[in-house]
Amino acid sequence: MTIQWYPGHMEKAKRQVAEQLKRVDAAVELVDARIPFSSRNPMLDQILQDKPRVVVLTKSDMADPDVSAQWLRFYEAQGAEAVTLNALQSKGAKPVIDKAEKVTAPIFDKMKQKGIRPRAIRAMILGIPNVGKSTVINRLVGRKTAKTGDKPGITKAQQWLKVGNKMELLDTPGILWPKFEDQMVGYRLAATGAIKDERLDLEDIALYLTRLLKERYPQALKERYRIEELPADDHDLFTQIGSKRGCLQPGGYVDEEQCAALILREFRDGKLGRLSLETPSDHEEKKDTHASSNAEKSSDIMSRDKDADV
């Protein structure tokens, strides 16, 4: 299955972000702590260019804390300012403001040198659909100002919001990108709910998710679905889960559509525990694979050119 979702309003939102960029001091980029690489929109690097940026790993209460710590070290090694955020805890707002003050310090130092009166930081908040942006905004602002929901596409337009007297936030709609070069990125986005379920083969996505969890968190599957030994065959595991949870049709056959919906819902609700679907090493391995592949292609071309010269 090829996964893609880029409705027309996202192209419009991308243009609006670029137009508003000159009005802000920094960007607050939200990524899903369970999939920090897959949930980073690669177009933002081109749009934001050298604009100071804070990366916020949302939904950290649902991600593996050890893996989240690896991601923070990964960003630190790249020279990026990153912080995890549990949007359900009131103490979560201060680290974001602190990081924003740090990345914009050079801007405000120049303003002071020119005798310009200090003002609040103006930041644009960005992220893919269903990354938890509205929940984060409500936590930062301290009251319910943005709609929240466990479906992508809640925010439809830009709006300015005040975070005390220290920051002003420009909210923007969630934006994906036109094409997923790596389809595993699409599968991870689909599993976490960043793509509308109506556009997906949920059985395919749920089968992918159970396969991945069997590799990385087998104990979580055993405990949640009371399975003593996970079968080697991924589809057998899928049907065992359906049978255990009563997803049955007349005659005792597993209702695979119902089973898929249940697995995805329980993963997204955190019922299987704190789980992460990718690590920094996955990202590095992918880069190494691409580099090796490109080197082989280059070697083949050089070899062919040499043979042609002979």
Give 18: exposed, middle or buried? Use CB within 10 Å, 0-12, 13-18, 19+: middle
Six token digits for residue 308: 């042609």
The answer to whether the annotation marks 133 as part of a ligand binding site is yes
Q: Give every strand in the sheet of 81-84, ordered side by side.
A: 81-84, 53-58, 26-32, 121-127, 167-171, 159-163
Has 246 been labeled as part of a binding site?
no
Element at 83 (helix H, strand E)? strand 81-84
Per-residue HEC secondary structure of 283-296 comes to HHHHHHHHHHHHHH
Is 292 one of the annotated binding-site residues?
no
Tally of CB atoms within 10 A around 83: 19
| Cα separation, 72 vs 90, whole angstroms | 21
Amino acid type, 193: G
Q: Is the separation of the CB atoms in 186 and 39 below 8 Å?
A: no
Whether 57 contacts 33, CB under 8 Å: yes
For residue 211, what are the contacts with CB-CB under 8 A and spacing of at least 6?
234
The answer to whether 134 is annotated as binding is yes
Annotated ligand binding at 239? The verdict is no
Instruction: Please return the burial class of 210, using the count of CB atoms within 10 Å of its CB with bins 0-12, 13-18 and 19+.
Output: buried
SS3 109: helix
For the record, the structure tokens of 205 come out as 């996505």
Q: Report which of 249, 152, 268, 248 is spatially closest to residue 205, judged by C-alpha positions.
A: 268
Q: Which of 151, 147, 152, 145 is nearest to 174 (CA)?
A: 152
Q: From the annotation, which residues make up the binding site?
A: 130-135, 174
Q: From the annotation, which residues make up the binding site for GTP?
A: 130-135, 174
